[in-house]
């Protein structure tokens, strides 16, 4: 039974030692007293040193730390109380020293670690690194974790927790003051190699590159700052103090794929790096395709497939930037502190540990080598028609928005994994669906190929949701069997009736993100009731009976008033934005254009939008597959610009008769000879 400090902590010791500090002593304490307590709890001396932004707190004890602790729950705690404003009245009081922070090292039988607790109003706190060396215990934190004070007062003490009760060890009476040396940590750090593809037989090593920036966005020299690296799976790949990664062995389980976590001056980078270790060398080199908010990191060509051309033709970076903006608009969240969201092609030679899509930063989009088709979640790899996997890409991005929302996570804390996963997956897809509607219904700078393909993809997916919902209805609308596709089918029906404002309003019920949900969502019934209340508040109609009859939703009658009150207040606090996403339509793209039909397929009504380069008379007409005019839906002189949802078709012909299910064409014409058509499907 050995004392085991937290795995992550111990693994970082090597990198600390390697970066041998030229540190400056800021303050020290000695205590000659020899109290009748356990020698491992009696402080003999303590000190604080600084190396750049790194603060090391050391405590020398009369006796060595025990290698055995009697019970699994027992711990020993070594504490430095720090007062950054020399005011005993602020922070957490400790016998005369008002403490803004506790820097503490904790050891126990099964776990341990170090951190700075924030107890006052000064920002900071977070994990530190603990090292034990005979009679001395050290913890390293970062100046920023102490709120960046010029001077501070400190003292220290020890405690043992035995059988659940606290036993004070040695409480130092001396209070020391110290002045910090000037140091400005970097404001932002980015790992610009978000995936490495390695192989134990070579190339077995790869160098991670990290870019540091100050608050104004200027790039800083890396050598002025301290970087630390940690691999989450050292049996697959290790990392040294310089960011050099070495492949050890391919993973055999999916979860063994390592992430390298990186800290710069003690602050975690906005993203991590995935280490894909393959059994054979796949021989690809990734490149960065950067947008304003997202960057794709891909091989330009892989197994004869030209990803770069596809990325450019379909405007994947530009479109996904818009999806990022849509997520930000829907959820009022900037995941990863607005840092670049990376999407990497995770190329695996082994289908067992390859991924389809995985959320996070980077988002991983899989590619398995050795297949001619259907081997990727970045593109639909059909040799006859390759195109982006819009839904997967945007769904994983959606997870990053919803998972960053504290209130939404609380909404998922019922004891029902089925329902929690339905809402977690369903709303990640809703974020993607919201981006789809935003890019189609409001002016964006995307060209017709990207817009049309995005629309086709989501319409196909919609078809899948419709059949999932139909199966759910046929199966008796049993809410215990609801899955994400059924939920998204319901959300599509709500959109068809009420527009995307109801989606936006649903997201509003989880805002502000940090504010806890004021009603305990502790049953699936309350979770369902929140959803129904949100839709009722958004539409101004009491949808309880509708949801019970149509979708089998259970309503918690006793909680309804309270829940409705909360969601309607939150929805009323936020107006639905009707402006576009990002930049207005650039002049270069401002030619006449007929937009994709939406919804499509439809029953019985759909809407049409288009862009005019200049003022013109516009004719929109619906034809059947034999070219016969069914209905002229618009013939009007209009101003230049975007005209979203300008015309609708209700499925009737010019005589007012309902047209049968089938394929139809919408044609747009202007007097100067412009003509463009779109295919659409009426499903009755």
Residues that bind Zn ion (CB under 5 A): 425, 428
Nearer to Zn ion, 85 or 425 (CB): 425
Q: Which residues does 75 contact at the CB level (< 8 Å), separation at least 6?
A: 69, 106, 107, 108, 112, 160, 161
Q: Which residues does 508 contact at the CB level (< 8 Å), separation at least 6?
A: 570, 571, 573, 574
Nearer to Zn ion, 503 or 560 (CB): 503
- Rounded to the nearest whole angstrom, what is the least distance from the CB of residue 357 to Zn ion in the complex? 7
- Rounded to the nearest whole angstrom, what is the least distance from the CB of residue 613 to Zn ion in the complex? 40
Nearer to Zn ion, 436 or 595 (CB): 436
Nearer to Zn ion, 392 or 620 (CB): 392
Distances (CA, A) of 291 to 33, 370, 396, 636: 63, 31, 17, 39
Nearer to Zn ion, 144 or 484 (CB): 484
Cα separation, 46 vs 28, in Å, equals 6
- Rounded to the nearest whole angstrom, what is the least distance from the CB of residue 428 to Zn ion in the complex? 5
- Rounded to the nearest whole angstrom, what is the least distance from the CB of residue 395 to Zn ion in the complex? 6
Cα separation, 308 vs 315, in Å, equals 10
Q: Which residues does 309 contact at the CB level (< 8 Å), separation at least 6?
A: none
CB 493 within 8 A of CB 515: no
Tokens representing residue 628 in the block: 């016969």
Nearer to Zn ion, 408 or 560 (CB): 408
SS3 667: strand
- Rounded to the nearest whole angstrom, what is the least distance from the CB of residue 483 to Zn ion in the complex? 12
CB 487 within 8 A of CB 422: yes
Nearer to Zn ion, 355 or 590 (CB): 355
Kind of pairing between the strands at 195-198 and 273-277: parallel
- Rounded to the nearest whole angstrom, what is the least distance from the CB of residue 391 to Zn ion in the complex? 11
How many other C-beta atoms are found inside a 10 Å radius of the C-beta of residue 473?
14
- Rounded to the nearest whole angstrom, what is the least distance from the CB of residue 402 to Zn ion in the complex? 10
Nearer to Zn ion, 432 or 590 (CB): 432
Nearer to Zn ion, 391 or 547 (CB): 391
Element (H, E) at 316: helix 316-331
How many CA atoms lie less than 13 Å away from 292 in the CB half-sphere?
Answer: 11
- Rounded to the nearest whole angstrom, what is the least distance from the CB of residue 390 to Zn ion in the complex? 15
Nearer to Zn ion, 421 or 661 (CB): 421
Nearer to Zn ion, 425 or 455 (CB): 425
CB 167 within 8 A of CB 157: no
- Rounded to the nearest whole angstrom, what is the least distance from the CB of residue 259 to Zn ion in the complex? 18
- Rounded to the nearest whole angstrom, what is the least distance from the CB of residue 135 to Zn ion in the complex? 51
SS3 496: helix
Cα separation, 549 vs 654, in Å, equals 36
Annotate 45-79 with three-state secondary structure. EEEEEEECCEEEEEEEECCCCCCCCCCCCCEEEEE
Cα separation, 291 vs 271, in Å, equals 16
Cα separation, 572 vs 615, in Å, equals 38
Nearer to Zn ion, 425 or 485 (CB): 425
- Rounded to the nearest whole angstrom, what is the least distance from the CB of residue 289 to Zn ion in the complex? 24
Nearer to Zn ion, 115 or 510 (CB): 510
Beta strands in 639-672 (DSSP E): 641-649, 662-669
- Rounded to the nearest whole angstrom, what is the least distance from the CB of residue 94 to Zn ion in the complex? 46
Number of residues written out for the chain: 684
At residue 79, what are phi and psi to the nearest 5 degrees? -125, 140
Sign of CA pseudo-dihedral 570, 574, 575, 579:
negative
At residue 592, what are phi and psi to the nearest 5 degrees? -55, 140
Nearer to Zn ion, 265 or 425 (CB): 425
- Rounded to the nearest whole angstrom, what is the least distance from the CB of residue 113 to Zn ion in the complex? 31
- Rounded to the nearest whole angstrom, what is the least distance from the CB of residue 273 to Zn ion in the complex? 22
Sign of CA pseudo-dihedral 383, 287, 404, 355:
positive
Name the packing angle between helices 390-403 and 316-331 (round to 10°): 30
């Amino acid at each position: 039974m050995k004392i085991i400090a937290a795995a992550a902590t111990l693994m970082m010791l090597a990198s600390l030692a390697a970066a041998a500090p030229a540190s400056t002593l800021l303050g020290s304490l000695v205590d000659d007293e020899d109290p009748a307590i356990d020698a491992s709890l009696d402080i003999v001396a303590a000190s604080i040193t600084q190396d750049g932004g790194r603060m090391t707190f050391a405590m020398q004890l009369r006796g060595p730390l025990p290698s055995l602790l009697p019970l699994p729950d027992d711990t020993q705690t070594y504490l430095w109380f720090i007062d950054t404003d020399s005011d005993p009245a602020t922070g957490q009081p400790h016998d005369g020293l008002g403490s803004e922070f506790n820097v503490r090292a904790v050891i126990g039988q099964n776990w341990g670690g170090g951190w700075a607790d924030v107890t006052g109003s000064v920002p900071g706190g977070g994990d530190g690194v603990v090292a034990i060396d005979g009679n001395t215990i050290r913890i390293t934190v970062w100046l920023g974790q102490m709120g960046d004070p010029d001077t501070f007062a400190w003292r220290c003490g020890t405690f043992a927790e035995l059988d659940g009760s606290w036993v004070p060890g040695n409480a130092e009476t001396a209070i020391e003051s110290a002045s910090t040396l000037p140091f400005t940590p970097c404001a932002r750090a980015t790992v610009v190699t978000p995936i490495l593809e390695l192989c134990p037989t070579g190339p077995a090593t790869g160098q991670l590159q990290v870019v540091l920036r100050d608050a104004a966005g200027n790039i800083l020299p890396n050598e002025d700052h301290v970087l630390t690296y940690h691999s989450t799976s050292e049996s697959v790949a290790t990392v040294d103090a310089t960011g050099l990664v070495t492949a050890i062995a391919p993973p055999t389980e999916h979860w063994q794929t390592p992430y390298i976590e990186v800290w710069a001056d003690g602050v975690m980078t906005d993203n991590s790096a995935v280490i894909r270790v393959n059994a054979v060398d796949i021989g690809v080199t990734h490149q960065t395709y950067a947008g304003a908010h997202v960057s794709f990191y891909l091989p330009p060509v892989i197994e004869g497939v030209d990803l770069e051309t596809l990325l450019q033709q379909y405007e994947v970076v530009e479109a996904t930037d818009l999806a990022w903006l849509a997520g930000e608009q829907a959820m009022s969240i900037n995941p990863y502190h607005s840092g670049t969201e990376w999407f990497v092609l995770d190329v695996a030679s082994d289908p067992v540990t390859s991924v389809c899509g995985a959320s996070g930063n980077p988002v991983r989009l899989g590619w398995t080598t050795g297949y001619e088709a259907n081997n990727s979640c970045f593109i639909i790899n059909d040799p006859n028609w390759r195109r982006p996997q819009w839904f997967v890409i945007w769904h994983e991005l959606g997870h990053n928005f919803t998972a960053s929302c504290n209130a939404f996570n609380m909404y998922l804390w019922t004891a029902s994994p089925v329902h929690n996963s339905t809402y977690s997956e369903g709303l990640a897809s809703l974020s993607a669906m919201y981006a789809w509607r935003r890019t189609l219904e409001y002016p964006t700078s995307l060209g017709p190929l990207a817009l049309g393909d995005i629309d086709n993809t989501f319409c196909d997916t919609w078809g899948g949701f419709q059949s999932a919902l139909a199966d759910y209805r046929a199966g008796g609308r049993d809410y215990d069997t609801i899955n994400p596709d059924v939920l998204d089918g319901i959300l599509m029906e709500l959109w068809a009736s009420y527009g995307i404002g109801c989606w936006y309003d649903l997201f509003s019920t989880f805002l502000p993100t940090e504010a806890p949900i004021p009603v305990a969502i502790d049953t699936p019934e309350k979770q369902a009731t929140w959803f129904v209340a949100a839709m009722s508040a958004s539409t101004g109609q009491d949808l309880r009976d509708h949801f019970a009859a149509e979708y089998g939703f259970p309503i918690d009658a006793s909680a309804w008033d309270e829940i409705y009150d909360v969601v309607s207040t939150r929805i009323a606090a936020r107006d639905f934005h009707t402006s576009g996403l990002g930049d207005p339509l650039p002049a270069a793209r401002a030619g006449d254009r007929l937009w994709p039909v939406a919804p499509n397929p439809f029953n019985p009504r759909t809407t049409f939008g288009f862009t005019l380069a200049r003022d013109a008379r516009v004719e929109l007409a619906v034809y059947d597959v034999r070219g016969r005019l069914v209905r002229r839906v618009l013939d009007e002189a209009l101003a230049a610009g975007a005209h979203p949802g300008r015309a609708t078709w209700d499925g009737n012909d010019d005589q007012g008769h309902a047209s049968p299910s089938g394929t139809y064409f919408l044609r747009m014409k202007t007097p100067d000879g412009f003509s463009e058509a779109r295919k659409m499907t009426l499903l009755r």
